[in-house]
Chains A and B, each alone.
Chain A
Amino acid sequence: MIRKIANHQLYLLILSYFKEMIREPGILFWGIAFPILMSLGLGVAFTRKSDVVRKVAVINQPGLEASQPHANLKIIDFLDKHAVRDTVPGNENLTYRINLPDDKMGNTILLFQQTGWNEAMVLLKRGNLNVVMEEKNGKISYHFDPLNPDAQLTYLRLSKLFGNENPEIIANNDHVEPLTLSGTRYIDFLVPGLIAMGVMMSCMWGLSYGIIEKRSKKLLRRMVATPMKKSYFLIALITVRVGMNFIESGLLLLFSWIVFGITIQGNLPSLILLFIAGNIAFAGIAVFISSHTSSTEVGNGFINAIVMPMMVLSGVFFSYHNFPDWSITFIQKLPLTILADGIRSIIIEGAGYKEVTIAFIILITTGVVFFIAGLKIFKWH
């Protein structure tokens, strides 16, 4: 029995393709490490708030020497008391920094710098400055663009600080209750998209390229000149690919669970079924586009023509709802959109069989139709 399996065409083909794949170091990187790194990079970049730096100019009174009693008494007094003085070598102007820690909304750093009016305007135009402060007759005034939300925020923080004799700088922000509800963060949006994208990429590049390369090397022709069953050739290639996709996506999910705490809110078996349907859809398309050509360049072109638009449109990285309304009905019909939205609805929104049935049917049908059409025109020689 074991012997029978070990000599079976399909088993040997699967084994050979599997070896071929894992012996290619690039596969392990692009298939497994790359999506994980991408989720890590994008997830961290868009999830953790980094320190915000706000720059403030304090206007020198014209005609005043550094030694003379300062006109900006109130401001400088305050800064001397509450801020850290930075000295920049070569720059005689006074610079100060105030750190405003905040555990919920992220830290803010206020940088103060004494400049003349003209210099301040140049910096403002360059976007290098948020607010300009000036003291006239003991009264502080603020100059900024009221339409710029950053400037507004800076003004609000400054006016709160300078209005108080004893400003309390609190690190524990009790007023703010962040929404840490799982499923609302960017990373929750991203990971299902990455899984869908992984399926598409792996099928299109792995399968199509694999078939075209074997045809161009005349290996396909050589294999077909034996009693090998032609269907096994494709079944084995697809099986190995889909198996690899399970491993890749599983590792990505595991990673995002450990690092970002993403869990599957919905029904796991329905997720697996949808995932398989997505694999079938893209495997079908892959067989179709590789059915005829024996030139890897032509193959590259085909693959890019299919992969690129979907990468941009299907909402893998950012929601497609920002595209014009008329395009959205079209976008929602793309297989990658259907797969990504389906996976997202299960992982984030807790959907189950009922919600993804239509997606499932469309994906399977797409795959089968393309597969059959591809087989009809498939060039074995």
Chain B
Amino acid sequence: MNSFPVIDVRDVYKSFKSVDAVKGIDMHVDRGQFVAVLGPNGAGKTTLVEMIEGIRKPDKGEIQIMGKKWKGNEDELHQIIGLSLQETKFIDKLNVRETLRLFAGFFGLGGERVEEIIQIVGLEDKIKSWVVNLSGGQRQKLALGIALLNKPKILLLDEPTTGLDPAARQEVWTILRKLRDKSETSLILTTHYMEEAERLCDFIIIIDKGKILKQGTLEQLLNGDGSKRKVLEFTLDNPGSSTEKLLNDSRFRIKWEGENEKGIVEFASWEEDIPVFMSFLKKSELRLKNLEFRKKTLDDLFISLTGRHLND
């Protein structure tokens, strides 16, 4: 097997006029690995993947794909990469099949592969529709289809499901899961849906403001601080201006979201922690209105790291 990673990004920087979009990112993707780059709007996800795609040049740092730099290897690398940009519009007045045919031609592929792709992304009903008349979801599927045309060794998808309804998102996930089971394709996918990262990817990189906040498998990320994996959300009957201060006195780390009037606590064990928490509330004369137990998510992690939600 190859000793080098499929994608190797080393200490990469990129600035635009007034913004430092990417500020020193390292990442590696192995063969067959699915990696999610998760971050809120403006985190630098697109800038990062576009550098990996060879579309932008890093100001500093180095990117190697299959052990090769972009410079001088464009033709070879274009052959093995499939990608979809955050928003591409194709030729309005070509239909779905014609568009796929054109891009298949770029890779020297013929009509059979086009028909296969139409099956894979489920656009059979739309073969003859002009691109301009497709719905947002259908356009995303077409973009995904084009990305898959050349059976890429490396797939780079920038927010492939943003703007899709849950059903359409599920369909895209199904397509990608099949790909993972059947091929050795490596994937980098950017998203700001934690669910997408959780359900689809082996490795998750959380970035914010151009830097990596945390990375690892879902397990590693959620078990990060000790083994606290249980989350309790609560609202109060009598929230007030002093609530936050009162909560800060507890031995738990309680996060109080003033605007939602909602508190969030992480526990290691329900059995041991809940009674302590309850007696603390009682002592502080805080009355519970509603109580919700749930699993810890990446959003909780993001909040604990930045104080913000992923999708704010």
Contact = CB atoms under 8 A, between A and B. Distances in A.
Interface of A: 3, 7-9, 11-13, 16, 19-20, 23-24, 217-219, 221-223, 225-228, 381
Given A227-B75, A381-B56, A20 B91 contact: yes
A9 B102 CA distance: 8
Contacts of B108: 7, 227
Given A19-B93, A20-B91, A226 B106 contact: yes
SS of B interface (majority): loop
B93 A12 contact: no
Given A9-B105, A12-B101, A227-B78, A3 B110 contact: yes
Interface size range of chain B in the complex: 20 to 34
A213 to B, nearest CB: 9
A13 B108 CA distance: 13
B81 interface: yes
Contacts of A381: 55-56
Interface string B87-113: 111111110001001111111111000
B122 interface: no
Contacts of B92: 20
A227 B78 CA distance: 5
B164 interface: no
B54 interface: yes
B265 interface: no
B83 interface: yes
Contacts of A228: 106
Contacts of A23: 93, 130
Interface of B: 53-56, 75, 78-79, 81, 83, 85, 87-94, 98, 101-110, 130, 146, 150
Which 5 A-B residue pairings sit nearest by Cβ, starting from the closest?
A12-B105, A23-B93, A226-B106, A217-B89, A228-B106
Contacts of B102: 12-13, 16
Given A20-B91, A223-B106, 17 more contacts: A7-B105, A7-B109, A13-B102, A13-B105, A16-B94, A16-B98, A20-B93, A20-B94, A23-B130, A218-B87, A219-B90, A222-B85, A222-B146, A226-B107, A226-B150, A227-B78, A227-B108
B105 A218 contact: no
Contacts of B81: 225
Contact of B103 (A3, A217, A218, A226): A226
16 contacts: A3-B110, A7-B108, A7-B109, A8-B105, A13-B105, A16-B94, A24-B93, A218-B87, A219-B90, A221-B88, A222-B88, A223-B106, A225-B54, A226-B106, A227-B106, A227-B108
A19 B85 contact: no
Most buried by B among A7, A23, A222, A223: A222
A225 B92 CA distance: 19
A139 to B, nearest CB: 78
